[in-house]
Amino acid sequence: MNYFSHLLRIVVALIFLISGFVKAVDVVGFSFKLEEYFSPAVFNMPFLEKQALPLAILVVVLELVLGFMLLLKTRLKFTLAALTALCVFFGFLTFYSAYFNVVTDCGCFGEALKMLPWQSFWKDIALLVGLLILWWMYRNELDEPEGKSSPKNIAFSVASLIMVFIIYWGIAHEPLVDFRDYSIGTDINAERKKIDADPSVYKTFYTLLNTQTSEIKQVDDGEYILDRKYWAEGSPWKIQEDKTESKLVKEGYSSEIAKFRIEDTGGNDLTAQVLEAPRAILIFCYHPAHADPEVIAKAESKALEQQGTFVLGVSTSPKTFNKISNGLMDGTAIKTIARSNPSVLILNKGKITDKKSAEDFLKD
C-alpha cells in the first residue's frame, strides 16, 4: 500500500507538472484559449478577455507550484486541497465544453497534445479520483509539521526560478519550446501536400420522416441517392431540413497549416508567391491596435534592407504596414503562427528557417 501511494502521488504530480510546463512555455497561447471561454459564444464574459494573460499565468503557476509540492510531498494537506479545487474547476470547464460543444480543445496540454472535450473531461475525473485516493492514503500525515530549512525548500526555490524564467521568455519572446505546427524547420509546402493527399472525409446525413407511418429514419447521402424509394415522385419519405447534419467519417492528415492563406487587399491569393520565394520575410501582427507602431516601422525598414528577399506584412487590417505591402490573414491563424505582436517569420522556399518577436529581429 505504501509503494502504491508513492507511485500514485508521483504520477498525479507529474501530470500536473507536464500540463503546467507545456502551458508555461506558451502562456500567451494559453491566454488565447481562455479568451475563447470568455467570448460571447461560451461564458459571455467579455470583460475578462483583457485579463486572459494574467489569469493564464495564475493557472500555470498554480499547476506548477502545486504539482511540485505534491511531488516533494510538502504541505500535503494544503496541496491536496488546492489541487482538488483546481481539478473540480477544470472538470467544470471541460464538461461544459464537451456537453455544449463550444470549445473543441481545452488547451489542457497546450499545443503539445490535443484532446477532445470529452477526453479532457474524463482526464480531469481520473485526476480527481486519484487525488481523493491520496487524501485517504495520506490521511494520517496531513497535519505533520515540516522543517523550515530542508533540501525540499532549496529544490522548490530552484524550480520556482526556472518557472519564472520559462513564463517570462514565452511572453517576451517566442516560446522556448515550440509545440506548434509552425515550428522552425517545418516545410509548409510539404505539409500542404500531405494535407491534400490525405483529406478528411465528411458525409451528409438526412433525417427522413415517413408521412404515412410517421416512421423516422436517418440515412447518409449515398444511401439516399441509391435507394429510389426515398426520392421517387410520390414518395412518403420527406427530408427534415433542420435535422440534416454533416459528420466526419474519416480523419485525414491534421495540421493548422491547412489555414495558411494570405491575400492582398484586393482579395488575390499571395500564398504561392510567398511559399515559392527563395527567401521571404513575413512580419505578422494579429492585433494592430495593440502593436507598437515604432517597432513595426523599424522591422519593415530592416526587412527591406535585405537584398533578394520577398518582404510582406501580414495582419488582420489592410492599414497596418506603411513601407511594405499589406497581406491579410485570419487573426486566429496568425496567432497560431506567432505569439508575439508583431513577430517575424523567415522562409526559404516555404521552409521555416527562423521565427522570433519583432524586437528580437531588430537586435540581430
Residues 116 and 208 in one domain: no
Residue with cell 479568451: 35
Let me know if residue 23 belongs to a domain.
Answer: yes
pLDDT of residue 146: 65
pLDDT of residue 147: 60
Residues 122 and 211 in one domain: no
Let me know if residue 160 belongs to a domain.
Answer: yes
pLDDT of residue 145: 65
Let me know if residue 191 belongs to a domain.
Answer: no
Above 60 in pLDDT, residue 206?
Answer: yes
Let me know if residue 128 belongs to a domain.
Answer: yes
Residues 94 and 235 in one domain: no
Tell me the per-residue pLDDT of 32-88, one tens digit each, with 9 for 90 and over: 888 888 888 888 888 888 899 999 999 999 999 999 999 988 888 999 999 999 999
Let me know if residue 184 belongs to a domain.
Answer: no
The structural domain count of the chain equals 3
Residues 161 and 16 in one domain: yes
Residues 80 and 22 in one domain: yes
Mean pLDDT of the chain: 90
Let me know if residue 192 belongs to a domain.
Answer: no
Above 60 in pLDDT, residue 24?
Answer: yes
Residues 226 and 77 in one domain: no
pTM of the model: 0.82
- The percent of residues in the chain predicted with pLDDT above 70, rounded, is 96
User: Can you tell me the mean pLDDT for 149-153?
Assistant: 76
Residues 264 and 242 in one domain: no
User: Can you tell me the mean pLDDT for 221-245?
Assistant: 91
Residues 231 and 261 in one domain: no
Report CA Rg, the chain. Answer: 26
Alpha-carbon distance of 311 to 9, in angstroms, equals: 52
Alpha-carbon distance of 310 to 282, in angstroms, equals: 8
Residues 73 and 113 in one domain: yes
What CATH number is attached to the domain comprising 269? 3.40.30.10
Residues 120 and 75 in one domain: yes
Residues 82 and 163 in one domain: yes
Q: Which residues contact 346 (CB under 8 A, 6 or more apart)?
A: 279, 280, 281, 282, 352, 353, 354, 355
Alpha-carbon distance of 171 to 208, in angstroms, equals: 53
The helix/strand/coil state of 319 is coil
Residue 298 structural domain: 257-363
Tell me the per-residue pLDDT of 240-254, one tens digit each, with 9 for 90 and over: 988 999 888 888 998
Let me know if residue 344 belongs to a domain.
Answer: yes
Looking at 250, 279, 312, the residue that finishes a domain is 250
- Region for residue 359 given its phi and psi (left: phi exceeds 0; alpha: psi -120 to 50; beta: otherwise): alpha
Let me know if residue 182 belongs to a domain.
Answer: no
Looking at 124, 152, 172, the residue that finishes a domain is 172
Residues 22 and 79 in one domain: yes
pLDDT of residue 130: 94
